[in-house]
């Protein structure tokens, strides 16, 4: 008996009949519709498709981080998927160039039909924000209503459940906290790092004292270095860090911050290549989302000026507030402030280089 092989047709596999029949201008039907409305619909539908793919990648990364042990191969998988997410975000920013081929007058031909619809009602983008770690307490609100008031039924339940669950941020914090790099036999990273910082600053002060400078200029430069020294002391103090967390000045825990610092400083060690790439990918994602928000602000300014948004927000005013306020991985970006030259970097003992691995346990 011969086996029949089923064939999949391109049109059916991609459900193109549904996809290509999903554009329904509301300004009018047929030739009476505003010409630019088709572009507006397709751009936003494309955004939603890309959001779906980003959610798929972020969820897979979160699932891997939920494991008790995270081995090298899984970090590599996560790095590749985050790289994909960042490339998609680059595409999303680029799509605004296409949307901006529509002029203000073109948009006004159909904008009045859209109210109260708004991009603020994108369920997938709100899911993405919450999954990354933008919970309601950190969010810039508008209109006095919580953002999830835009949704009903299962969509609202899904958002509220995500609010209660671990985010990518919290999972990464826990991962950094359980990496046993900070204090190992024969190597206390924080103590060694503090000694290296003091050596660096003392050498800078000695250089200033020996330089051909006016007394006023010399005193000013030394005072600046002394302020830098106080900054390092505050950062390295766990008590000061916890106080900064209570005051809302920082979000990432002290232990996670120190682990991230170690990974950044010792990135040249083969074992830390992938963790470093991953932390950098998070900072890059934060910046790309902020760029996308900012480009949106610029587009709204050019097309609508100070007009109120169709969803009732303050338009560009609300969007401007979200550019910086909704960043999530600022603490990882600020690690750059704590970097020191490789010439001052404490040498890792050979036994630590030889024995460190990617399988960690609490």
Residue 362 — pLDDT band, cuts 50, 70, 90? very low
pLDDT band at 299 (very low <50, low <70, confident <90, very high): confident
As a whole number, mean pLDDT of residues 166-171 equals: 96
Q: Which residue has the higher pLDDT, 61 or 316?
A: 61
317 vs 326: which has the higher pLDDT:
326
pLDDT score of 130 more than 70: yes
Nearest to 79 by CA among 344, 285, 234, 316: 285
Exposed/middle/buried for residue 41 (C-beta within 10 Å: 0-12, 13-18, 19+): middle
The per-residue pLDDT for range 173-229, each reduced to its tens digit, is: 999 998 877 767 778 889 999 999 999 999 999 999 999 989 899 999 999 999 988
Q: pTM for this one?
A: 0.87
Q: Regarding predicted confidence, which is higher, 88 or 146?
A: 88
- 357 confidence band (pLDDT: 50, 70, 90): very low
The CA-based diameter of the chain, rounded to the nearest angstrom, is 99
Residue 140: pLDDT over 80: no
> What is the C-alpha to C-alpha distance for residues 11 and 15, in angstroms, rounded to an integer?
6
Question: Looking at per-residue confidence, does 311 or 24 come out higher?
Answer: 24
Whole-angstrom Cα distance, residue 351 to residue 362? Answer: 21
| Helices (H), ranges, the chain | 10-13, 16-20, 37-65, 72-99, 104-108, 123-132, 153-164, 168-178, 189-210, 215-236, 238-246, 254-265, 273-304, 316-325, 330-333, 350-355
- Taking only the tens place, the pLDDT of each residue in 110-123 is 988 887 777 778 89
What are the residue ranges spanned by the domains of the chain? 12-355
Lowest mean per-residue pLDDT among 66-70, 100-104, 289-293, 330-334:
66-70
Whether the predicted pLDDT of 30 surpasses 80: no
CATH class in words for 12-355 = mainly alpha
Give the tens place of pLDDT for each residue, 246-297: 998 999 999 999 999 999 999 988 888 999 999 999 999 999 999 998 998 8
Lowest mean pLDDT among 22-36, 281-295, 299-313: 299-313
pLDDT recorded at residue 146: 76
At residue 88 the predicted structure's pLDDT band, cuts being 50, 70 and 90, is: very high
């Amino acid at each position: 008996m011969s086996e029949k092989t089923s064939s999949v047709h391109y049109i059916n596999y991609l459900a193109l009949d549904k996809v290509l029949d999903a554009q329904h201008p509301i300004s009018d039907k047929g030739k009476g519709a505003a010409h630019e409305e088709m572009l507006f619909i397709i751009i936003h539908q494309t955004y939603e498709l890309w959001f779906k793919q980003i959610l798929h990648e972020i969820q897979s990364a979160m699932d891997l981080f939920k494991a008790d042990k995270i081995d090298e191969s899984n970090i590599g998988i996560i790095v590749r998927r985050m790289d994909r997410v960042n490339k998609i975000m680059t595409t999303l920013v680029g799509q605004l160039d296409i949307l901006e081929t529509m002029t203000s007058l073109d948009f006004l031909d159909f904008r009045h039909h859209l109210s109260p619809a708004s991009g603020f009602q994108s369920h997938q983008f709100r899911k993405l924000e919450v999954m990354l770690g933008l919970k309601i307490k950190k969010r810039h609100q508008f209109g006095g209503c919580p953002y999830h008031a835009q949704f009903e039924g299962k969509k609202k339940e899904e958002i509220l459940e995500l609010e209660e669950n671990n985010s990518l941020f919290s999972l990464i914090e826990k991962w950094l906290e359980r990496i046993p790099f900070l204090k190992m036999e024969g190597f206390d990273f924080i103590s060694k790092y503090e000694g290296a910082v003091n050596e660096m600053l003392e050498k800078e002060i000695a250089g200033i004292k020996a330089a051909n400078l006016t007394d006023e200029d010399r005193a000013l430069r030394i005072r600046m270095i002394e302020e830098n020294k106080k900054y390092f002391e505050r950062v390295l103090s766990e008590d000061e860090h916890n106080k900064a967390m209570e005051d809302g000045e920082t979000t990432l825990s002290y232990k996670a911050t120190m682990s991230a610092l170690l990974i950044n400083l010792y990135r040249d060690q083969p074992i830390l290549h992938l963790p470093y790439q991953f932390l950098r990918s998070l900072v890059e994602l934060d910046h790309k989302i902020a760029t996308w928000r900012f480009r949106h602000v610029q587009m709204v300014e050019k097309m609508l000026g100070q007009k109120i948004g169709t969803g009732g927000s303050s338009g560009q005013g609300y969007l401007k507030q979200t550019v910086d306020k909704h960043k999530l991985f600022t603490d990882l970006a600020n690690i750059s402030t704590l970097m020191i030259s490789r010439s001052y970097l404490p040498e890792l003992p050979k036994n630590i280089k030889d024995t460190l691995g990617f399988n960690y346990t609490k």
